[in-house]
Amino acid sequence: MALEAALPDAALPSRSPQAPRRPRFARPHWTLVAGALLLVLVAVTLCLGPTLAPYDPTAQTLIRRLKPPSEAHWLGTDHLGRDVLSRLLVGGHFAVIIAAVTLTLSAVFGTLIGVISSRKGGLVDEIAMRSVDLLISFPEVVVAIFLIALLGPGYGTLILALTVVGWTPFARLARGLAIEINAKPYIRAAEILGCSRRFIILRHIIPNAIGPISAMAFLRFGHKMITVGGLSYIGLGIQPPHADWAAMMAEAQPYIERAPLLVVCPGLAIFLTALSVTWIGQGLSQTGDKP
Amino acid sequence: MWHFALRRGTVLLLTLLLVSIVAFLIPYIGEGDPALLVLRARIADPNVDQTTLEAMRHHLGLDRPLAVQYFAWLGDALRGDFGLSFIRRAPVADMLGGALLVSITLALSALLIALLVSAPLGTLAAMRPGGRADTAATLLTQTLIAVPEYWMAPMGILIFALWLGWLPSAGWDGPSSLVLPALVLALRPLAYFTRIIRAAMIDVLDAPYITAARSRGLGLRQTVLRHGLRNGAMPVITLFALWLAGLLGGSVVVEVIFAIPGMGRLIYEAVINKDIPVLQAGFVAIVALAVVINTLVDLAYLAINPALRHSHGA
C-alpha cells in the first residue's frame, strides 16, 4: 500500500560532500534517542533471550497450565504449561529477522532501480516507474497469502512476498531524491570531468540520498514486523511449536478471560519493538529537517 | 491529459491481462495437477486410480491445450462466471460479491472513523507547528502506527464484550457487531491520515492566499474552515482511496479474529482448504480493484489539479 505518501517530506541534503560539514548528529530529535535506547534494549533481549530464558520455551507441563504469575514463573504459564517469560524472550526472532531481511533487500533494490532510472531516463525510467505504480497498489498481506498458498509458509516465501511489494516506495523516493541531486552543480562538475555513471551514482547520489532512505527503512520496519506477525497470528507464518509473539497471542485467545496476561505480554513486546524503530525513523527524518 | 489517461488505461489493461494469466495458472504453480486437486477436494481418498483421473481431466476440459483453456476461462470470468467453489459448491461469483460488500462496509466505516478523528487533530496540529497540540498529535500517531491490530482486537473483545458486555465479541449481525472491528481497523489509517492532514495544512496555511484572507480580517478559524480544509483535501482523498483498496482483503487478520465473512476471510479459508476457484477469483478481484482504484486516483489528481498536467508530458 502506498503509505509513503503519508511520510513527511524527506529533507534533501543541501551540501555537497566537499563543503565543510557540520557535526553530523548535532541535535538529534528526542524520538531518535528514545527509539535507539528502546531498540538497544529489545535487541539485547532478543540476542540474549535463549540464554536468559529460565525454562525451555517448548517444554510442556500440562499439570501446571494457565497458572498466574508466581516466583517460579514470573509471567505465569500458558495453556500447555509452558513458561511465558521464556517464550517471550525467544519469540521475537522470526518477525524481526524477516522484517530486517525484507527491508534491506527492498531498500537496496529499490534505491538502485530508482537511482538508475533517474540517470538513464527514457524507456528504462518509464518501465520502472510504471511497475512501481502497479505494484505499489497491491495489498502486501494479500500477496503474501497467495504466495504462501502456492509455496507453503516459511522464511523464503515471506521474504519474497514482502520484497516483491516492498521495494516500490524506496524506488519512488530514491528516484525523487536522485532527480534533485542530479540538478546540483557538483554532479554537473563530475560529468564534465568525465566521471562514469557508475561513479556518479555510487560516489555522489547514493551517499547523499542515504539519509532519507534509511529513515524510510526504519519507519517501515514496524509495519513489516506487524504484517509478519499478522500472518503468524492466523497460522500462515511461523509454524508451531516455535515460540513467536503473534502466534502466542493467537494460541492464548481462547483463554483470554482466564489469563489476559498471555495476550497482553506478547502484544506489548511487538508494540515496543515496532515503536522503537518507528521512533528512530521519525527522529532520523526530523533531525535531517532541522536547519 | 488525454494522452496520459490513454497511457494509464493501456497499462491498466495490460496489467489486468497479466493478472488474469497469473490467476489462471494458480492451480498449475502449486501442487501440479489440477484434476488431482479437484478429485482430492471432492473425495477424501488420496489414492486415485489412473482411469478416474483421466475421466476427470476430460470432464474438466483439462486435456485441451493450455491456451484454449485460458481463453475459455477468461471468457467465463469476463461474464462473471468463476465456477463453483470446491468446498461450498456455490458459485464463486456470488460468494465473492457478498464478501466484497461486507469488506467494503467494514473498510468504509473504519476509514470514516479515522477521518473524523484525524481531520480536527491534524488541523489543530498544523495551526501551531511545534506547539503542544502538535507534539501530542505527533506522539499519538507515532504510537498508533506501532500497535498491531491483532493486539487491540483481543483486548477490545476482552474489555467491551467479555467484561462490560456492551458489544458482541464476534460475528456479522447488525451495526453493533461492526463497532469493534471498525475501531480496531481505524487505528493505523488514523495515524497516517493525521500526519498527512497536518503536512497538507501546514503547506496550505503557508500559502499567500491565506495571508491575504487573514489580512482582510478573517479569523483563524474561518480561514481554516473556508480555505484551508478545501485546499488541503486532495492528498487526504488520495490516501483514503489507497487505504480503501488496501483494506479490501488487507483486513484479513481482523476479519479472521472477529469471524467477519469478508474478502480477507474468504481468501484465508480458500488458502486453508485449497479451494482453487475461490483463490483465483479472489486474486483477480482484489488486485483488479487495487489497480483500478489507483489509476482512478491518479487521473482524478490530474483532473483536479491543472498544474500537474504539463509535468506529465501531455
> pLDDT at residue A261 above 80?
yes
Residue A2: the pLDDT is: 42
Task: Kindly tell me the burial class for residue A21, based on how many C-beta atoms sit within 10 Å of its own C-beta (0-12, 13-18, 19 or more).
Answer: exposed
Subunit contact A8:B199, Cβ cutoff 8 A: yes
Subunit contact A271:B146, Cβ cutoff 8 A: yes
> Measured between CB atoms, does B200 come within 8 Å of chain A?
no
**pLDDT tens digits for range B14-23:** 888 888 888 8
**pLDDT tens digits for range A145-185:** 888 888 888 888 889 988 988 899 899 899 988 888 888 88
Query: What does the alpha-carbon distance between residue B119 and residue A226 come to, in Å, rounded to a whole number?
Result: 26
pLDDT band at B314 (very low <50, low <70, confident <90, very high): very low
- Residues in chain A with CB shorter than 8 Å from the CB of B243 are 1
- Residues in chain B with CB shorter than 8 Å from the CB of A165 are none
Subunit contact B148:A145, Cβ cutoff 8 A: no
Residue A14: the pLDDT is: 45
Angle at A122 between CA A118 and CA A125, to 5 degrees: 45
A interface mutation test: which of B19, B145, B243 has the most A CBs within 10 A? B145
Note whether B110 and B119 are within 8 A (CB): no
Mapped onto helix, strand or coil, the DSSP state of residue A170 is helix
Mean pLDDT of chain A: 80
> pLDDT at residue A108 above 90?
yes
Q: How far is A52 from chain B (nearest CA, A)?
A: 25
- Residues in chain B with CB shorter than 8 Å from the CB of A149 are 26, 30, 270-271, 274, 279
Subunit contact B250:A141, Cβ cutoff 8 A: yes
> pLDDT at residue A86 above 50?
yes
Of A138, A149, A222, the CB nearest to B145: A222
Which residues touch A162 (CB under 8 Å, ≥6 apart)? A98, A102, A106, A140, A144, A224, A227, A228
Q: How far is B185 from chain A (nearest CA, A)?
A: 13
Nearest CA in chain A to B163: A257
Query: What does the alpha-carbon distance between residue A233 and residue B147 come to, in Å, rounded to a whole number?
Result: 14
Residue A170: the pLDDT is: 92
**pLDDT tens digits for range B98-127:** 899 999 999 999 999 999 999 889 888 888
Q: How far is A18 from chain B (nearest CA, A)?
A: 32
Q: At what angle do helices B132-145 and B92-127 cross, to 10 degrees?
A: 150
pLDDT band at A55 (very low <50, low <70, confident <90, very high): confident
Mapped onto helix, strand or coil, the DSSP state of residue B294 is helix
Q: pTM (2 decimals)?
A: 0.82
> pLDDT at residue B311 above 80?
no
**pLDDT tens digits for range A189-236:** 888 888 888 888 888 888 888 888 988 888 889 889 998 888 888 888
Q: How far is A1 from chain B (nearest CA, A)?
A: 6
A241 upstream amide cis, omega within 30 of 0: yes
Residue B112: the pLDDT is: 94
Query: Going by CATH, does the domain composed of A30-45+74-286 fall within 1.10.3720.10?
Result: yes
pLDDT band at A28 (very low <50, low <70, confident <90, very high): low
Subunit contact A146:B158, Cβ cutoff 8 A: no
Task: Kindly tell me the burial class for residue B278, based on how many C-beta atoms sit within 10 Å of its own C-beta (0-12, 13-18, 19 or more).
Answer: buried
B interface mutation test: which of A9, A27, A142 has the most B CBs within 10 A? A142
> Measured between CB atoms, does B29 come within 8 Å of chain A?
yes
> pLDDT at residue B242 above 90?
no
pLDDT band at B86 (very low <50, low <70, confident <90, very high): confident
> How many contacts (CB atoms, under 8 Å) link A and B?
151
Subunit contact B148:A2, Cβ cutoff 8 A: no
Dihedrals phi, psi of B84, to nearest 5 degrees? -105, 145
Residue type, B256: V
Residue B295: the pLDDT is: 83
Mean pLDDT of chain B: 82
Q: Give A62's DSSP letter.
A: G
Subunit contact A150:B26, Cβ cutoff 8 A: yes
The better pLDDT of the pair B38, B235 is held by B235
Distance of CA B207 to the CA centre of its chain: 34
Subunit contact B253:A141, Cβ cutoff 8 A: yes
The better pLDDT of the pair A254, A62 is held by A254
- Report domain extents, chain A: 30-45+74-286
Of B146, B250, B253, the CB nearest to A234: B253
Of A134, A229, A279, the CB nearest to B150: A229
Mapped onto helix, strand or coil, the DSSP state of residue A153 is coil
Mean pLDDT, rounded, for A86-105: 88
> Measured between CB atoms, does B190 come within 8 Å of chain A?
no
**pLDDT tens digits for range B254-307:** 999 888 998 989 988 888 887 888 888 888 888 888 888 888 887 877 777 666
Q: Which of B109, B116, B112 is nearest to B175 (CA)?
A: B109
